[in-house]
């Protein structure tokens, strides 16, 4: 019994220890390269966790989340360029506008089920950048994109600031995602995923829950998009509304296991590291080679673990627990 309690304590403290260690990592004045990887890693964890609220828990696979990311990015860039307001404040506005957009789009799109929803969101993701490119170029940058002034600090401090902010965003979105999974809201979403019409017959307002999940997810992604835009300092419709980015998010969440809150964290961590290793493993080779290997890994992973890594870890833990209980029963006999 004592062992179990210690194990639980350990399980609770280890993540926080890791987070604190990650937070103080810049104090070691590491190479800027590692801070940049950290920013990207935390961003994908945050994006994956936000996506998971609608995509994983409710089972509505959105392939167009880059639209929300891009809206956040553009709001922040426009506010900074035209009014000089700090992106760290306006990212909230970006999130709100992304949420509003999700709410409006959600009316028709969330009525679609399964693959139809995925295709509609995918097409949404393809259509939005076209609109942005064709907005008046003098204000919105058009096909040249928008440049933002850098933070007036040296590059190391700059990276550290974004590193810490992205880490905080990753932690907050993961906590929100975990809280939702354990709440009544999450249970409702899960019942929608399992069987939407049955969920409705037992009194679950599926439309309201889905809309809430979609809007919340878009809000978080919009905020992340705003910070990401300031990190890149240059945004262009094809980079912030990139459909590849939308699909990366889906992949990371599914790879880790989309029905769990840990899934996107693990998925993003493994895939970002693989991506970086591939880029450094083939120095001088064109980027296509690493993308090719990346695609191959994706195919293999989905083929052999279509439910994601967490699914297998949880099953394994469960079977071990059952074994341990069996042994205890045998001992007491």
Partner 1 sequence: MLSGYEIAHGLIGGIFVGLVYALLSAGFSLTWGVTRVINLAHAAFALIGSYITLTLLELAGVDPLISILFIVPVLFILGLGMHYFMIKPTAKRTKDITSASMVLSFGLYMIVENLLVVIFKSDDRVLHSRYSDLSFHIGPISVAMTSVTSLAIAVVSLGVIYFFLNRTYTGKAVRAVWQDMDGAMLSGINVESVTAITYGLSLASAGVAGLCLVLMYSVTPYIAFSWLIYIFLIAIMGGLGSIVGVTVGGLIVGLIVSLGSVFIPFAYINLVLFVLLIVVLIVKPTGLFRR
- List contacts with partner 1 (CB under 8 A): 61, 63, 108-109, 111-112, 114-116, 118-120, 122-124, 126-127, 130-131, 133-134, 243, 247, 250-251, 254, 286, 288-289, 291-292, 294-299, 302-307
Question: What helix, strand, coil percent values describe the chain, rounded to 5?
Answer: 80, 0, 15
The helix/strand/coil state of 146 is strand
Rounded Cα distance between 322 and 118, Å, is: 38
Q: How far is the CB of 107 from partner 1 (least distance, A)?
A: 10
**Closest CB to partner 1 among 18 and 127?**
127
* CB nearer to partner 1: pick between 126 and 176: 126
How would DSSP label each residue in 23-60?
HHGGGG---HHHHHHHHHHHHHHHHHHHHHIIIIIS--
CB of 111 vs partner 1, minimal distance in Å: 6
Taking the least distance from each CB to partner 1, the nearer of 9 and 139 is: 139
- Tell me how far, at minimum, the Cβ of 296 lies from partner 1, in Å: 6
Q: How far is the CB of 48 from partner 1 (least distance, A)?
A: 14
Q: Which residues pair with 235 in a beta bridge?
A: 146
Q: Of 130 and 273, which has the nearer Cβ to partner 1?
A: 130
Angle ∠(279,285,287) on CA atoms, nearest 5:
55
In the bound state with partner 1, the residue whose beta carbon lies nearer, of 33 and 316, is: 316
As measured in angstroms, the least distance from the Cβ of 100 to partner 1 is: 18
DSSP state of 234: E
Nearer to partner 1, 38 or 70 (CB): 70
CB-nearer residue toward partner 1: 35 or 192: 192
Q: Nearer Cβ to partner 1, position 128 or 165?
A: 128
Structure tokens at 54: 């609608």
Do the Cβ atoms of 44 and 252 come closer than 8 Å? yes
User: Cβ distance 240 to 66 under 8 Å?
Assistant: yes
Residue 48 Cα distances to 83, 199, 218, 287, 328, angstroms: 31, 26, 12, 24, 39
In whole angstroms, the minimum distance from the beta carbon of 185 to partner 1 comes to: 22
- For 234, phi and psi rounded to 5 degrees? -135, 125
Distance from C-alpha of 259 to C-alpha of 57, rounded to nearest angstrom: 5
Q: How far is the CB of 258 from partner 1 (least distance, A)?
A: 9
100: its two tokens: 């509003």
* Residue 317 tokens, joined: 């833990």
Q: What is residue 235's DSSP assignment?
A: E
CB of 14 to partner 1, least distance (A): 30
């Amino acid at each position: 019994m004592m062992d179990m309690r210690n194990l639980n304590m350990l399980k609770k403290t280890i993540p926080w220890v890791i987070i604190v260690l990650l937070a103080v990592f810049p104090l070691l004045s590491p190479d800027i390269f590692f801070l940049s990887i950290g920013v990207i890693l935390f961003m994908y964890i945050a994006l994956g966790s936000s996506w998971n609220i609608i995509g994983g828990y409710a089972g509505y696979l959105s392939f167009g989340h880059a639209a929300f990311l891009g809206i956040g990015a553009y709001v922040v860039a426009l506010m900074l360029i035209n009014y000089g307001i700090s992106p760290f404040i306006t990212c909230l506005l970006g999130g709100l506008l992304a949420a509003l957009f999700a709410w409006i789009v959600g009316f028709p799109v969330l009525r679609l089920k399964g693959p139809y929803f995925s295709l509609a969101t995918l097409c949404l993701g393809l259509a939005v950048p076209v609109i942005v490119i064709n907005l008046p170029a003098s204000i919105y940058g058009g096909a040249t994109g928008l440049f933002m002034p850098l933070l007036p600090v040296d590059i190391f401090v700059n990276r550290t600031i974004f590193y810490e902010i992205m880490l905080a965003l990753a932690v907050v979105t993961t906590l929100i995602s975990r809280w939702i999974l354990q709440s009544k809201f999450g249970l409702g979403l899960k019942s929608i995923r399992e069987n939407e019409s049955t969920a409705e017959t037992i009194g679950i307002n599926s439309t309201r829950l889905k809309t809430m999940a979609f809007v919340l997810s878009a809000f978080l992604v919009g905020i992340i998009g705003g910070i990401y835009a300031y990190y890149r300092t240059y945004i262009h419709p094809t980079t912030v509304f990139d459909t590849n980015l939308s699909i990366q998010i889906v992949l990371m969440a599914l790879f880790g296991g989309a029905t769990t809150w840990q899934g996107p964290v693990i998925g993003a961590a493994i895939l970002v590291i693989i991506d970086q290793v591939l880029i450094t493993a083939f120095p001088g080779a064109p980027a296509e080679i690493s993308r090719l290997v990346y695609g191959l890994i994706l195919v293999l992973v989905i083929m052999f673990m279509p439910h994601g890594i967490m699914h297998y870890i949880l099953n394994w833990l469960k079977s071990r627990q059952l074994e341990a209980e069996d042994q205890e029963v045998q001992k007491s006999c």
